[in-house]
Amino acid sequence: MADKRFPSPFELEGPEGIEGWEELYPYSVLFSEDRREYEEDRFWFWDSMHWGAAMTPWDSVFLEMAIASLSQFNSRHYRIPPADGIDFRVLYGYPYFSPITIEDGARIESRVPEFMERAGHYFVNWNDLYDNWLGKIKTSIDEINAIDLSPLPEMEDLSVVTDGIGTGSGHRLLEEYRTLKNLCLKVWQYHFEFLNLGYAAYLDFFGFCKQAFPSIPDLGIAKMVAGVEVDLFRPNEELKVIAQKAIDGGLARVFDNPEDVAGIRAALAGTDVEAHWNEVENPWFNFSAGTGFYHYEKTWIDYPEIPYAFIRDYIIKIEEGHDITRPIEAIQAERDRVVSEYGELLQTDEDRQAFQEKLGLARVVFPYVENHNFYIEHWTMSVIWRKLRELGANLVKEGIINEIDDVFYFRRDEIDEVLWDAYSAWAVNAPNRGSVYWPPRIARRREIVAKMKEWKPPKALGEPPSVVTEPFTIMLWGITSDSVTGWLGTDENSDELSGMAASPGMVEGPARLIFDADDIGDIQDGEILVAPITAPSWAPVFPKIQACVTDIGGMMSHAAIVCREYGIPAVTGTGFGTSQIKNGQMIRVDGTAGTITLIEE
């Protein structure tokens, strides 16, 4: 493979008609001539798992916050011996990552005692620190909710005068926006407070199992560690409860037309079903239909027609006589069986003890790995997006943008200037410049983003690495030396695809390609879902589908976890599934071997 390489970021041509795209993103994330020597030597991969579509300027803020935070915990907090952070760039709207591996043996060695002390503290005090973490997240969410982005008033309230406040709404608006940005960064730092260490402990158990059982399927290891009562499953479980309550209360037909939100709300008024909905919607329906990384992804709480449709499907299943409850005891018993049977196949007492210890630690850390996704990506992000839309509504009122969602086409630093413009114009009581300056520029940015979205970025850029060792790149993105080689050697005409064997079993059926969460309602019984990536909130469609295929994701990607839970075959990280499989095409998915065969043209 030495002679093969990915396109250089400096030579890759982007889509037509996007001149000026660079101004949508901060200068620090752009490939540039002045850093060319450094950038061109590196391997960069596209994280299509989290950012499968071109990002608007404000959406890309979370890319920066997430990856800087991830890096910071590796490099500055825990001193992960062989790995600093993950460098990141944005090219034509898409994020490219490059893990920074430490190769100098002496430097690695000097970080070992630092890592042991720092990581050791977290491992030893994990449960207390995690309880504390849950409190910090809830506090941050309350603080974000409390941010006051209300419009500038015609006249300050009398109390501002009588209480001797001495500052006004413009100051408040500027201040609150800065608070919002700070809280965004804060929760993204929290996101990685435990995650890297959680993966490290999991990888340690994983590595042990691979040594003891060289051919053990990855999912055998995942099954031993996976939690039974996981917060990420809770929103879906609540839909089942509501479906059952609706049947019990004679309200099953209320959900027949899930689009009629007002009608359903009216019909449920005062019922048990409504009471249960109100009890659980916060936080559990702060659940994104996507990954949580795009402002336009719908959340259940804001778009109840999505959960209503799932409830209708569950009602039908129950009425057909299916038991849709999650068999917690059976799942628990199966997990215990798997652990005890692998355990008894070990050869020495020493190994049996190590197995129990490592599994014990992996299970202590794993609830965080599984649950943080709900707390940050779903709950906190849905609150943040709502708050930013509040700001958008405000700017619409000031005439600076035409639509609420235009706010996501500003860079985060530009909004400081926009708010200043609005404030000072309001203070002077004279026309702001933004109303004439921004609308054409936003329109142009919308055009650029739309064009970048239609473009298909390459999976990687630059020099392929000789070996991938950065643990989180392997664990989270499923990127290994082999998979990178596979990307280079892919024969686009092959009738077979391979990926991670994420959930066992083999089935044949027609493919259903889904690129947008809004289209998951199109999925018919017995189809095989093929998507760039699935979201946990798609769980209710899993009883319908026979199997699932995704372009990217490792064994512990959110999709893999949910697929295993639903007991259907899944192959993740195929790289090219959505570009090689056609809608309606018959395919065979072998989730045990990690292969997909295209049966017909």
Partner 1 sequence: MCEACPVIDWAQELPTVRSFTARKVDADMTDHIVWFDRYESEHKPFLGGKNSSLGEMMRAELPVPPGFAITTNAYGLIWSDPALVDDVNDLLRSIDHDDLTGNRKTAGRIRARIEAAPIPEDVAADITEAYAALCRHCGVDDLPVAVRSSATAEDLPDASFAGQQDTYPWIQGVDNVLENVRRCWSSLFTDRAIAYRHSMGYLHRSIAMSVGIQKMIDPVASGVAFTLNPTNGDRSQVAVDASWGLGEAVVSGEVTPDHFLIDKVLREIVKREISDKHVEYRLNDAGVVEKMDVEAERRSKPSVTDEDLVAVALLARRAEKHYGSPQDVEWAIDRHLPAGENVVMLQSRPETVWSQKPKTSVSSSSGDPIRSIVSTLLSPMHVSDGGAEDQDDNRDNATASNQKSSETE
Q: Work out the burial of residue 454: count CB atoms within 10 Å of its CB; fewer than 13 is exposed, 13-18 middle, 19 or more buried.
A: exposed
Interface with partner 1: number of residues (CB under 8 A):
69
Residue closer to partner 1 by CB (options 4, 210) is 210
Q: Choose the binding region for partner 1 from 107-115, 380-388, 430-438, 527-535 (rule: CB under 8 A).
A: 107-115
Cα dist. 184→63, 318, 389 in Å?
11, 41, 15
Nearest to 565 by CA among 316, 227, 291: 227
Q: Choose the binding region for partner 1 from 2-10, 344-352, 442-450, 526-534 (rule: CB under 8 A).
A: 344-352
Residue closer to partner 1 by CB (options 77, 245) is 77
- CA distance linking residue 63 with residue 323, whole number of Å: 41
- Residue 553, sorted as left (phi over 0), alpha (psi -120 to 50) or beta, turns out to be left
566 in contact with partner 1 (CB under 8 A): no
Q: Give the shortest CB-395-to-partner 1 separation in angstroms.
A: 46
Contact positions with partner 1 (CB under 8 A) in 185-214: 200-201, 203-204, 206-208, 210-214
With CB under 8 A as the contact rule, the residue among 44, 58, 73, 115 that binds partner 1 is 115
Mask of contacts with partner 1, 453-492, x by CB under 8 A? --------------xxx-x--xx--x-x-xx--x------
Q: Choose the binding region for partner 1 from 13-21, 91-99, 110-118, 419-427 (rule: CB under 8 A).
A: 110-118
- CA distance linking residue 68 with residue 100, whole number of Å: 12
107 in contact with partner 1 (CB under 8 A): no
Contact positions with partner 1 (CB under 8 A) in 27-86: 80-83
Name beta bridge partners: 503: 570
Reduce the DSSP state of residue 190 to 3 states and report it.
Answer: helix
Q: Give the shortest CB-563-to-partner 1 separation in angstroms.
A: 14
- CA distance linking residue 597 with residue 498, whole number of Å: 9
504 in contact with partner 1 (CB under 8 A): yes
523 in contact with partner 1 (CB under 8 A): no
Cα dist. 105→82, 237, 238, 369, 587 in Å?
9, 49, 51, 30, 48
Residue closer to partner 1 by CB (options 93, 499) is 499
Nearest to 319 by CA among 224, 253, 261, 270: 253
594 in contact with partner 1 (CB under 8 A): yes
For 500, list phi and psi in degrees, rounded to 5: -80, 135
Q: Give the shortest CB-332-to-partner 1 separation in angstroms.
A: 16
Nearest to 195 by CA among 312, 367, 341: 367
Contact positions with partner 1 (CB under 8 A) in 358-377: 358, 361
Mask of contacts with partner 1, 539-558, x by CB under 8 A? ---------------xx---
Q: Tell me the two tokens of residue 190.
A: 């929290």
**Which residues contact residue 97 at a Cβ distance below 8 angstroms, ignoring those fewer than 6 apart?**
44, 45, 46, 47, 67, 86, 87, 88, 473
Q: How many CB atoms lie within 10 A of CB 500?
A: 25
Residue closer to partner 1 by CB (options 65, 468) is 468
Residues that bind partner 1 (CB under 8 A): 80-83, 108, 112, 115-116, 119-120, 123, 200-201, 203-204, 206-208, 210-220, 223, 337-338, 341-342, 345, 347-348, 350-351, 353-355, 357-358, 361, 467-469, 471, 474-475, 478, 480, 482-483, 486, 498-501, 504-505, 554-555, 573, 592-595
